Amino acid sequence: MPPKRAWQRMLSGRRLDLLDPTPVDIEIEDIAHGLAFVARWNGQTKGDWPYSVAEHSLLVEQIMTRMSTRPEPRWQLAALLHDAPEYVIGDMISPVKVAVGPDYGALDERLAAAIHIRFGLPARLPAAIKKRIKAADKLSAWLEATQIAGFTEAEADRFFGRPEAGQLEGLSLHLRPPAETRAAYLARHQALLAQM
C-alpha cells in the first residue's frame, strides 16, 4: 500500500506537511482564509454567519492588548496567531480534544512552532506570554458562550471563570462574511508586523 498522505495543498500553492511542517510552507493568506471559514463552537452559534476562529483570534488579541500596561507588538502577534494551527486542523471543541488525547496537542504544537518561526516569534512562547494569551482566550470564550453560544452566565462562569468587572466593557462580537473577516485578520497581522 502507498503511504497515506499527511500533507495539505494550500490555496497559495504551498504543500504543508502536517507531520513535519516547515516555516517556508506557511503563508498568512492561507491562515487568514482558513480561519475565516472555521466555525467556533462547532457552528452552534446564533446569527446569520458562523463565528469564525479568525474573529475569535482578533478578539483575543484585542483583549490581551487591553490587559497589558505596555503591549508589545510581537506578543500581540502571538495572541492573534494563538489558534493559527486550526487553519489546517480545524477547531476541535474541548470535549473532542479530550477524546482524541495527547496526539492532538502534539500536532498543534508542531504547527504552532512552524507558524511562530515563520513570523519572527520564538518557536515556543515564554510561559508568561502563554498565560496572558490563555487568560484573554478564556475571557473571549466567556463572552462568546454567553452572547452567541447559548450558555447561561452561571455555566460560562463554571467553565471559563467569571470576568472581573469592566474586563469586557465595550467589547462586542462580530458576525460577518468570511471575506470581511479574512481582510480584517490580514490587516491586523500586517499592522502588527509593521510595528515589530
Per-residue pLDDT at 4 exceeds 90: no
Handedness of CA 83, 127, 101, 141 (dihedral sign): negative
- Whole-number Cα distances in Å, 137 to 17, 39, 98, 153, 174: 27, 16, 18, 17, 16
Better-predicted residue by pLDDT, 141 or 19: 141
Query: Is 69 or 75 the better-scoring residue by pLDDT?
Result: 75
DSSP secondary structure, 91-128, as one string:
---HHHHHHH-HHHHHHHHHHHHHHHHHTTS-SS--HH
pLDDT in tens, 146-188: 999 999 999 999 999 999 988 999 998 989 999 999 999 999 9
Do residues 57 and 82 make contact, with C-beta atoms less than 8 angstroms apart? yes
Give the pLDDT of residue 133. 97
Residue 114: φ, ψ to 5°: -65, -40
Superfamily for domain range 25-195: Hypothetical protein af1432 (1.10.3210.10)
pLDDT of res. 75: 98
pLDDT digits (tens, 9 = 90+) for 78-117: 999 999 999 998 887 777 777 777 778 888 999 999 999 9
**Rounded mean pLDDT of the chain?**
93
pLDDT band at 144 (very low <50, low <70, confident <90, very high): very high
Kindly tell me if the per-residue pLDDT of 66 is higher than 80: yes
Residue 62 has pLDDT above 90, yes or no: yes
**Average pLDDT, stretch 129-148?**
97
Instruction: Please report the pLDDT score of residue 11 as a whole number.
Output: 94
Q: So what's the pLDDT on residue 6?
A: 84
38, pLDDT greater than 80: yes
Domain ranges of the chain: 25-195
Higher pLDDT, 104 or 190: 190
Percent of the chain whose pLDDT exceeds 90: 81
